[in-house]
Structure 1
Amino acid sequence: MTPVAAPVDLSKLKRIKRELVAPPFVHEHEQVAPGEPRIVEFEMPIIEKEIQVADDAWLQGMTFNGSIPGPLMVVHQDDYVELTLINPAENMMQHNIDFHAATGALGGGALTLVSPGERTVLRFKATRPGTFVYHCAPGGPMIPWHVVSGMVGAIMILPREGLSDHKGNPVTYDKVFYVGENDFYIPKDENGNYKRFEDVAESYPETEELMNGLIPSHVVFNGAVGALTGENAMTAKVGDRVLIVHSQGNRDTRPHLIGGHGDLVWEAGKFNNVPDRDLETWFIRGGSAGAALYEFLQPGIYAYVNHNLIEAVNLGATAHFKVEGDWNNDLMEQVVAPTEIVG
């Protein structure tokens, strides 16, 4: 597509550059817009590489910025997002980017198709506040394959005045984490072992056959089984208000924080809508991103799971929050420790 229109004069707008970081972390940003709309510049290379998904499973992955999911971008409503998308010469595939937050040209996908050795720059106005998915969509069967190979991320467009609760009162967060959920389809050999391929092109025929059966081999957070557990657990302190942005580019999912709740939940991810309150489990539609705010009240390990517990326990969709602080017996107390039953 070659759009034909008069150029827009944005020369008076301030430009800022943001350095993207790998999830679950999020780049530096203000929660309340500091002034007039700005042009926010991002640069993102596309990296094709093999990724270890589990102890016995490797994925020929395709990534934005080298991570699965791609990094969370944060701007404010009415800012302009200006993305330099780079497809290095050593890659094998064509790629592009479709922003669900953008208007026109297949979300920018029709204007950003780059072959290996090419770069492109896309600018769009962030007109709607909320959390939105972006993903690669190069056309035809390449679209689902690129998505289930890792090419999906999210952008958060904050209201200029920041977030608000159900009564319209200002809400802030102490920390923000981005959890991207992925379904992977890694073929097995005749002995039941996961196959390992030489490159991304070699992996395609068998991966396509498996993914068309709609039964994933793995359902994971942030690219791998255990990627957000143990030493990689997300951390907080008692009293911290934590915003969790959760995306799924391909399938429906049901986030649940074991031992906690969603104090405020923008289930569909759109900040113009009044948030739901006190949810135990919320629903993220495939191809969308949602946001939940929770104030941690007790210390310990909190499991954050897809509450299809088969996918959480058996396929890998589990993360941990490690929270420091003092225990509150008023909220929960072990009145009698487990003891032997006598008589």
Structure 2
Amino acid sequence: MTLLHASLLASALALAIGASAPAPAQAADALELVNATLDQASDLAALPRQQVTLKRPPFVHDHDQVAKGGPKVVQFTLPIVEKEIVIDDQGTTMHAMTFGGSIPGPLMVVHEGDYVELTLVNPASNSMPHNIDFHAATGAMGGGDLTVVQPGEEVTLRWKATRAGTFVYHCAPGGPMTPWHVVAGMHGTVMVLPRDGLKDGDGKPLRYDRAYYIGETEFYIPRDADGNFKSYASHAESLPDTLEAMRSLTPSHVVFNGAVGALTGENALASKVGETVLFVHSQANRDSRPHLIGGHGDYVWEEGKFANAPLKDLETWFVRGGSAAAALYTFRQPGVYAYVNHNLIEAILLGAAAHVKVEGDRWNHDLMTTPSAVGPIKPGTDLSLPVGR
């Protein structure tokens, strides 16, 4: 337990009973008390360490679906990147804040019982402080209280993955800065797999051939008096107008992976007939309703928690704001599938849509066919529908 940890704990206790935060000298006294009453961090020197190179979403870094051996310390390095991005085909720009340079930030995969050791880097070229709140972690505002880094600083946080599932992480600097940083792109997901892998409701193993991470974000781009989207020279310049737009709760864009069309056309996801794909879908701020047009959710952990039995055969599933869901589907027909937020206004008009191009040699006519081709309506066809009780 460090002096910083003791000070934070003492501050929290003081606030809880209505007292003022302790002075540094009081924090030293608190340190002695904390060391006398709280367990120390485990000695992890004997545990193996794995350094993971993260991948830009929708792709996911290499990982074992079933853990090999006992717990380990999984090390990640995550730089914070502030940059201007283009978010639609009209050339609309915004000043984004990102984990790793992408929206969403990378998916991190570990196993239950592992330790996540994250080094968060805020380069000197950035303009503001940041931190990271892991919904999968326990204590200190998900790590947010311990990871505040100014430009030019870095910090390493270690936490134990005690619960299996998919969990959001996001920046949470406090006050109105928290929702602003989130809708500017600072969110991602950690997937904590059970050590023995995914299971169906009867305890039978489930596996996937590919995993894709879809992070949904809503943007609030201010408009000028003529209704055109505005652009700004810096994050600071955009803040007042953006906060005002956010208060409307009416997004200008709702997108997958940072931009309209980021996962369509040439950027479409890929699969093959017979492959099982794991879709991880997060929304750090608002609810969403994923739907795979032409397919289903064979197994869906709608709440994202692998200790719970998956739901089966869903047409559309629900992602609660501030959470991530996971769904497995085995493709049975070739072709292009649309993966959408089934608020179709948001999918079609605002951008929350992706494509999956599925390769296959043969169409299964037993699953779908056209006994007759498109043509003129046959004479004498009765177009009335019987009305009955």
TM bucket, shorter chain: over 0.9
2:10 maps to which residue? none
- Aligned-pair CA distance for 1:2: 2.0
Match of 1:333 among 332, 354, 369: 369
Q: Counting strand residues as a fraction of each chain, which structure ranks higher?
A: 1
Root-mean-square deviation over aligned CA pairs: 0.9
**Pair 1:8 & 2:42 matched:** yes
Deviation at 1:201, TM superposition (A): 1.3
Q: Tell me which amino acid in the other structure corresponds to 1:333.
A: T
Superimposed CA distance per residue, residues 180-231 of structure 1 (whole angstroms, 9 cap, x where no aligned partner): 0000000111222111111111111100000011000000000000000001
The percent of aligned pairs where both chains have the same amino acid is 65
Distance 1:7 1:236 in 2: 43
Q: Which residue of 2 aligns with 1:50?
A: 84
| Residue 324 in structure 1 maps to residue 352 in structure 2 | no
Q: Deviations over 1:255-295 (max 9, x none)?
A: 00000000000000000000000000000000000000000
Question: 1:29: which partner in 2?
Answer: 63
Moved over 4 A (4+): none
Question: Is it true that 1:128 corresponds to 2:167 in the alignment?
Answer: no
Aligned equivalent of 1:267: 302
Match of 2:248 among 182, 190, 213: 213
One-letter amino acid of the structure 2 residue matched with residue 188 of structure 1: R
Moved more, 64-73 or 184-193: 184-193
CA shift for structure 1 position 342: 4.9
TM-score, length-normalised on structure 1? 0.99
- Give the TM-score, by structure 2 length: 0.87
**In structure 2, distance between residues paired with 1:7 and 1:165:** 35
Higher RCO (Cα < 8 Å, 6 or more apart): 1
Matches within 5 A, 1:237-316: 237-316=272-351
- In structure 2, the partner of 1:188 is 223
Structure with higher helix content: 2
**For this pair of structures, how many residues does the alignment match?**
343
Name the CA distance, whole Å, in 2 between partners of 1:313 and 1:180: 17
SS in 2 for 1:2: helix
Distance 2:101 2:210 in 1: 23
Q: How does 1:160-239 map to 2 (within 5 A)?
A: 160-239=195-274
Q: Secondary structure at the match of 2:87?
A: strand
Higher Rg: 2
Could you tell me which amino acid in structure 1 is paired with residue 355 of structure 2? H
Aligned-pair distance for 1:7? Answer: 4.1
| Structure 2: 5+ residue stretches without partners | 7-34, 380-389
Paired residue type of 1:3: H
* Residue number among 98, 105, 117 corresponding to 2:133 in the alignment: 98
| 2:358 alignment partner, SS class | strand
Hey, what does 1:144 align to over in structure 2?
179
CA distance in 2, matches of 1:294, 1:7: 40
